[in-house]
Amino acid sequence: MSHLSSSALKKWLYVLAIASLFTPLLFSPSLYFPFITLPHTFFRLIVNGMMILWLIFLFREKKSADFLRHPLVKAVFIFLAVCYLASFFGLNFSNSFFSSSERLEGLLCLTYFVLYFLILFSTFSKEELEKLIKIELFIALVHCLLALFLLYGPSVSGGLWKNGRLMGITGNPAYFAVYLLFNAFFALYFYFKKYFQNKKFFNFWLIVFVFLIGLIILNATRAVFVGLLGALLLMTFFLLLRKDKESQIFKKIALVLTITILTVFGLLFAFRHQPFIQERLFLQRLTTFNFQDPATASRLLSYRIGLKIFAQSPILGWGLDSYHYLYPKNFDPQMSKILPDFMFDRVHNKYLENLTDAGLLGLLAYFCIIYWIIKILRKKSQESFLLALPFWGLFTAYFIQLFFIFDFLESYLLLFLTLAFLAKWSEDDFLRKKERKLDNADEKNSVNSQKSLVNQKNYSSELLKIFIFIIALAFVLISSVRWLIGPLYQYYYVIDSRKQFVLKNDDLALKEIRKIFYYQTPYTEDVFIGLKKVSDDVKMKLSPETRAEFLTILAEKGEEIYHQKKYTYSFLTAYADILIDLSEINPSKKDLLKQILEELLTYEIPYSYSVAAKYYLVLERDLSKAKEMLEKSISLTDYLTENYYMLFLLENELGNIEQANYYLKKTIQANRLPTDKNLIFYSANLFVPDQDYQTIVKIYSRGIELYPEEAEFYVKLATAYGKLKNKEKAIYYANKAVEIMPSLKEEADKFLELIINERWDEIPD
């Protein structure tokens, strides 16, 4: 790096800053948690590179550390320090630092974003940061067009992209809504800036602002929409107080717009039960605000649990990311009656999250950041009200929506970019005066005194620089290899091992699973849970020898994690389930399994009773105890289809065939399809008397997915499609059956004659 000039270093820093803005567009289906892993990993690798270049740039330019004296910088550092303190004295520092694979937040995430903020603020001018925000806006527009294409594009297949709501590449509509929110107000800022230049009311940025607001409404994330309404009301109120000439036209527009929007949504809410609204998902969501709504009711329960957790450690909290440890211990059984996915790992309220994570001190430190944001905006409003107004709106909307959600990469990225811009915009207000005072104080010092200290200062200064650089380089190397690249390999092998099992490459899959645990990373527990899901998906495809080896590897690693005594409830249920499966083959771990079950049953959570029921049903053959556990689980929730499947097995064992069939049908109707070959035939036949051929199609389609060489499945699927009068698919699957088993040709020809002539009633069941 020594040959790079300061201007070249700065240019490369700017290029990396631009690269960071593309991270929300990263996505890889080949990685565990595909929407989280790649964006976070690349962002952190980018910041690692920025940090090294930044230090070289600072040392070469001999820049002072005066930028650290900015009040907003101090507030951010105080918040970070309190989070470290709370986590150090909290429940599990390692978990607080690294977070989980599903979130990749924690102290490490926060530290990277604070570094990002510091680099942007200390390196670039206001104009350069402004240009960076403008680049972000153009990237966001590309993201928006991609989001619209993924949702509405005719060439895009269904699945996660076709869920009825805009979410772009974020994987979550709420994440995309906050991303849109920031960019909308960025566009409004540039609109006012352009307006000041030419005094023309209409310009490009107004179109961008309206477009992004429209997408926020279409996205229908209620938290963001409420925040947007709050921002609109505050901005209108501020405009109404203004008497200067430049604000008059916007005062009238804001007033008319506010009244119009409130009237429109008032009418929509009044007629919310009409078909016009009910048939449009975004209107349905935006007009549904009641405490009985599952999303609302579950959040209110989560808040209650969060307050309970906070009350147990009110001063410093439990450390970052501790909620998913403490939630099971404070579980409210009502939660499992409301939502299918009733295990929360976040409070879904940023302020309560701060209280549970870092206590009252953490919330106070967070409010300190808000205080300095408000102070900066008040100062800037005196200088140029209209340029400050979009940021008033942005932070109002952002801090309102945080009552219902938490932060994530997209929000952190744009928040700290905005904070860097605000800090630079207000730099003259907070630093220049202090610099002048320091300069005057320096002049009073004697020249001789300065000369006597110069060598000592230079010597100590150079040593300090070397020390800082070595520490930074060590951090970059350790974090890049152990915390970023290593986990990336693990996440890849979790997904690829499943793929290799499906392709019958069992030896390669097992080799990859061993590699996963070879990498010593902080996320071993998470990939263990991921491999448990792989085991559930592929176990019917594996030979007994391969399955035994797979389970043995998992059991050994699970025992290692278990004895560390810092595991989550999710790990405990996954590990117990693995030991049950392994004990069918090798009962040596049965005593350990009993110990784990005792611990699980201290939690009043449906999963605990389901795992216990499986233990009594499969290993102990104690049918009465298994039924007791299942009834407890079902009394807490109707959402665990595994319970109904076990009741089918239990009633079948007892000889209650009619009752067993009832539970099997209930299992399938809940979309838990059978995986055993014989059970696929058996369960499909249960739906023939009801002529429920749609369900039969689902069952046999699953069978073909698992057993693609089973010709009889194609025959049955062709018949079902024939009963549904779907000529094209009936012919296709009949021909596929003959392709796999040519001896079926005569029978297939008779069937095809019925289909071609549309003699539907003659098709046999």
677: in domain:
no
pLDDT of residue 435: 52
* List of residues 6+ apart from 389 with CB closer than 8 A: 188, 192, 235, 238, 239, 381
DSSP string of 355-411? HHHHHHHHHHHHHHHHHHHHHHHHHHHHH-HHHHHHHHHHHHHHHHHTTT----HHH
447: in domain:
no
CB 350 within 8 A of CB 649: no
d(CA 250, CA 238): 11
Closest residue by Cα to residue 122 from 21, 46, 41, 17: 17
Give the range among 20-29, 165-174, 262-271, 560-569 with minimum mean pLDDT: 262-271
342: burial class by Cβ within 10 Å (0-12, 13-18, 19+)? Answer: buried
The yes-or-no verdict on residue 522 having pLDDT over 60 is yes
CB 123 within 8 A of CB 13: yes
Q: What percent of the chain has pLDDT over 70?
A: 95
Q: How confident is the model at residue 315 (pLDDT cuts 50, 70, 90)?
A: very high
pLDDT of residue 61: 80
Q: How confident is the model at residue 277 (pLDDT cuts 50, 70, 90)?
A: confident
91: in domain:
yes
Q: Which of 410, 430, 450 is the last residue of a domain?
A: 430
627: in domain:
no
Q: How confident is the model at residue 447 (pLDDT cuts 50, 70, 90)?
A: very low
Closest residue by Cα to residue 87 from 320, 312, 309, 311: 320
The yes-or-no verdict on residue 457 having pLDDT over 70 is no
* Six token digits for residue 463: 């040593």
Give the range among 68-72, 276-280, 297-301, 446-450 with minimum mean pLDDT: 446-450
Q: How confident is the model at residue 539 (pLDDT cuts 50, 70, 90)?
A: confident
Q: How many domains does the chain have?
A: 2
Q: How far, in Å, are 506, 533, 558, 643, 711 from residue 538 at the CA level?
A: 11, 9, 19, 20, 21
pLDDT of residue 434: 53
Q: How confident is the model at residue 446 (pLDDT cuts 50, 70, 90)?
A: very low
692: burial class by Cβ within 10 Å (0-12, 13-18, 19+)? Answer: middle
CB 42 within 8 A of CB 409: no
Residue with tokens 């997915």: 705
**Tens digits of per-residue pLDDT, 344-386?**
999 999 999 999 999 999 999 999 999 999 999 999 999 999 9
The yes-or-no verdict on residue 693 having pLDDT over 90 is yes
Q: How far, in Å, are 156, 222, 446, 570 from residue 109 at the CA level?
A: 33, 26, 47, 22
d(CA 555, CA 575): 7
**Tens digits of per-residue pLDDT, 555-581?**
999 999 999 888 999 999 999 999 999
Torsion, CA 31, CA 32, CA 36, CA 42, rounded to 10: -40
- Tell me the CATH number at 758: 1.25.40.10
pLDDT, mean of residues 44-51: 97
d(CA 245, CA 476): 53
12: in domain:
yes
Give the range among 174-188, 271-285, 414-428 with minimum mean pLDDT: 271-285
Query: Which run of H or E residues covers position 470?
Result: helix 447-478
d(CA 637, CA 115): 45
pLDDT of residue 459: 63
Query: Which run of H or E residues covers position 400?
Result: helix 385-401
pLDDT of residue 455: 47
- Could you tell me if residue 672 is left (phi over 0), alpha (psi between -120 and 50 degrees) or otherwise beta? beta
**Tens digits of per-residue pLDDT, 216-230?**
999 999 999 999 999
Domain of residue 689 covers 684-765
The yes-or-no verdict on residue 252 having pLDDT over 80 is yes
Residue with tokens 């790096």: 1
pLDDT, mean of residues 428-439: 61
Residue with tokens 């952002």: 398
**Tens digits of per-residue pLDDT, 578-605?**
999 999 888 888 999 999 999 999 999 9
Give the range among 153-157, 486-490, 508-512, 632-636 with minimum mean pLDDT: 153-157
d(CA 154, CA 171): 20
pLDDT of residue 289: 74
pLDDT, mean of residues 158-180: 86
CB 34 within 8 A of CB 27: yes
d(CA 60, CA 54): 10
Instruction: Specify the DSSP class assigned to residue 240.
Output: H
DSSP string of 260-280? HHHHHHHHHHHTTTSHHHHTS
110: in domain:
yes
Q: Which of 375, 401, 430 is the last residue of a domain?
A: 430
Q: How confident is the model at residue 274 (pLDDT cuts 50, 70, 90)?
A: confident
**Tens digits of per-residue pLDDT, 105-126?**
999 999 999 999 999 999 999 9
d(CA 252, CA 205): 20
Q: Which of 403, 430, 457 is the last residue of a domain?
A: 430
Amino acid letter for position 80: L
* Six token digits for residue 218: 């279409």
Side-chain half-sphere CA neighbours of 535 within 13 A: 27
pLDDT, mean of residues 47-61: 93
109: in domain:
yes
Average pLDDT of the chain, as a whole number: 91
CB 605 within 8 A of CB 572: no
Q: Which long-range contacts (CB under 8 A, 24 or more apart) does 21-25 make?
A: 21/132, 21/135, 21/136, 21/139, 21/413, 21/417, 22/139, 23/409, 23/413, 24/143, 24/168, 24/169, 24/170, 24/179, 24/409, 24/410, 24/413, 25/139, 25/142, 25/143, 25/146, 25/168, 25/169
pTM of the model: 0.91
Q: At what angle do helices 173-198 and 222-241 cross, to 10 degrees?
A: 20
pLDDT, mean of residues 449-466: 60
604: in domain:
no
* Six token digits for residue 104: 């990749």
